[in-house]
Amino acid sequence: MTESNLGKTEIEDAKLPRRDIILLPLIILLTVLVCFLATEVVARHYFAQGAEGNCLVRDAQIGYRFKSHCTMRQKIAESPWITYQFNECGYRSKEPCGPKPPGTTRIVLLGSSTAEGYLVNYDETFAVRAQRRLAQDYGHPFEIQNLGREECFPICVSKRMDEAMQLRPDLLVLALSPVDIQHLDPAEMQDRDKPMAPLGNPDMAPVKISALKKVQVFLSQSYAVTAIQYFLYQNASTFIRLYLHGGDSTAYIRTPLSPAWMKRFDAFDLLLGEMTQRARTAQVPLVVMEMPSLAQGSLLSMDKQPQGVDAGVFDAELKRIAASHGVQFIDVLDAFQHGPKANRLFYVINGHVNGAGSALASDALVEQLEQQQSPTLAGHSQTQDALERGR
């Protein structure tokens, strides 16, 4: 029956046919479903994902590492295609990892995906940008051997100290983000010397998941949901509002820090102490750099931060720990505060910094290194080379 065909009184008096009680809600559901599918089709075009090649190889100590002389490509929904090339040691560096060329300052970069430059093309990573600028500022070659590897959190990093030292670096930089400390499980500290599990451990029993979880997984894999998230997270306050529902994993921006986070920081304190000791023994300065998370960047983009939330609380704690070990702390957060809005500096769904964010981080790194490590960076060609020749 057509509504316009009826007079007003007729509409008011007319009864709804019984079939419509089922039919109309079904039409609503069907319409929503069609809209969702249409969005899915469009989103699959605009938010395409892909991967070419696989450079991962098992490693007895740290679970897995990158193959030597390997190239792989990856694209996530919100990123362009990113090419990863690894040198003969499986580091994301174009420079060979063999003996350091004379007159070159070698920096070893440690950390997880943040250090690796995940989702950033090689020339745009903060490591390569910093390498270029340092070479320009000091007038001699610099190289950064990038040992960064996804999910190589602080315990994994501590296992790589010997590997790092074998490269005979002039400087060690440990790049950290809140995710690194979040994944630092204090319970694992006792067994930290044991080898780490490789990728896709076949011994693990298949996990049973609930129907709700299945729906969540389905939605999280949906391109339409990705598209909605992408636009939703462009707004810093929306992102923060949703992010704060993340429970303990997001509590590093809440004041005061939760006991769970304090335990993580205690564990990191212990690890940093050990790493500093080993670096000192080899007379190599160690520097800790914090790469802000999207949540911290978003908070800095907002005019007013929500109550009980502070972008700088994580930074301050890390700085305190670094200072207690006499380690320089590179404060990148300040550069993000004065930079563009967070949605320009991060992949808003994935959370990693993009090329623009890497540029800010690189500037902060170089400026602060030049302030405190200038003798190491500038004096290398005279002192270290003499030592190298002596060896």
Partner 1 sequence: MDAASYQLVVFGLAVALVSNLSRSWLWRSIVLLTASIVFLGLIARSPMVYLPLAGFLLLGYVGLILIERNWPRATMCSVLVTVFAYIWLKKYTFLPESLFLHSAYSALGLSYIFFRVLHLLIDTGDNQEKRHIGLGAYLLYMLNFTTFISGPIQRYDAFSRDQFADKPIALGPRVIGSQLERIVRGFFKVNVLAMLLHMVQDDAVAQLSQPMPMQIKMFAAIKLALVYPLFLYANFSGYIDIVIALARLMRVRLPENFDRPFAASSVLDFWNRWHMTLSNWLKTYVYNPLLVLLMRRISSLAWQPFLGVICFFVTFFLIGVWHGRTSEFIVFGVLTGGGMSINKLWQLWLGRLMGRKGYKALATNSVYVSCSRGLNFVWFGFTLFWFWAGWKQIGAIFSALSVVEWISVWLTAWLVATLVLALWEWLRVALLSIRTTEGPILTSRYALTVYASVMGLVAVVVTALLNQAAPEIVYKSF
Stretch 180-219: interaction string toward partner 1, x if CB under 8 A? ----------------------------------------
The Cα–Cα gap between 251 and 245 comes to: 10
Q: Which is nearer to partner 1, 23 or 197 (CB)?
A: 23
Under rule CB under 8 A, residue 28 binds partner 1: yes
Name the minimum Å distance from CB 53 to partner 1: 35
**Taking CA 375 as the corner, what is the angle to CA 370 and CA 380, rounded to the nearest 5 degrees?**
110
Under rule CB under 8 A, residue 23 binds partner 1: yes
Start-to-end CA distance of the chain, whole Å, equals 95
Piece of 11-19, 50-58, 317-325, 376-384 that binds partner 1 (CB under 8 A):
11-19
Residues 6+ away with beta carbon under 8 Å from 27: none
Rg (CA), the chain: 26
Residues 6+ away with beta carbon under 8 Å from 303: none
Q: Which is nearer to partner 1, 8 or 208 (CB)?
A: 8
Is cis: bond before 256, omega within 30 of 0? yes
Q: Which of 95, 175, 171 is nearest to 132 (CA)?
A: 95
* Token reading at 200: 């896709």
Name the minimum Å distance from CB 5 to partner 1: 4
Under rule CB under 8 A, residue 15 binds partner 1: yes
Piece of 1-9, 45-53, 197-205, 257-265 that binds partner 1 (CB under 8 A):
1-9
Q: Determine the size of the site formed for partner 1 (CB under 8 A).
A: 28
Q: Taking a C-beta distance cutoff of 8 angstroms, is the pair 294, 301 a contact?
A: no
Under rule CB under 8 A, residue 387 binds partner 1: no
Residues 6+ away with beta carbon under 8 Å from 86: 55, 66, 67, 68, 69, 70, 71, 92
CA 129 distance to own-chain centroid: 18
Under rule CB under 8 A, residue 37 binds partner 1: no
Name the minimum Å distance from CB 184 to partner 1: 33
Q: What are phi and psi of 361, to 5 degrees?
A: -65, -40
Residues 6+ away with beta carbon under 8 Å from 207: none
Q: Which is nearer to partner 1, 9 or 190 (CB)?
A: 9
Q: What are phi and psi of 71, to 5 degrees?
A: -130, 135
Piece of 31-39, 67-75, 144-152, 355-363 that binds partner 1 (CB under 8 A):
31-39
Site for partner 1 in 215-254 (CB under 8 A): 228, 231-232, 234-235, 237-238, 241
**Strand ranges, E, within 147-249:** 171-176
Under rule CB under 8 A, residue 16 binds partner 1: yes
Under rule CB under 8 A, residue 303 binds partner 1: no
Q: Which of 314, 308, 317 is nearest to 296 (CA)?
A: 314
The Cα–Cα gap between 290 and 144 comes to: 18
Name the minimum Å distance from CB 46 to partner 1: 15
Under rule CB under 8 A, residue 32 binds partner 1: yes
Under rule CB under 8 A, residue 41 binds partner 1: no
Stretch 340-359: interaction string toward partner 1, x if CB under 8 A? --------------------
Q: Which is nearer to partner 1, 130 or 349 (CB)?
A: 349
Q: Where do contacts with partner 1 occur on this chain (CB under 8 A)?
A: 1-5, 11-16, 20-21, 23-24, 27-28, 31-32, 35, 228, 231-232, 234-235, 237-238, 241
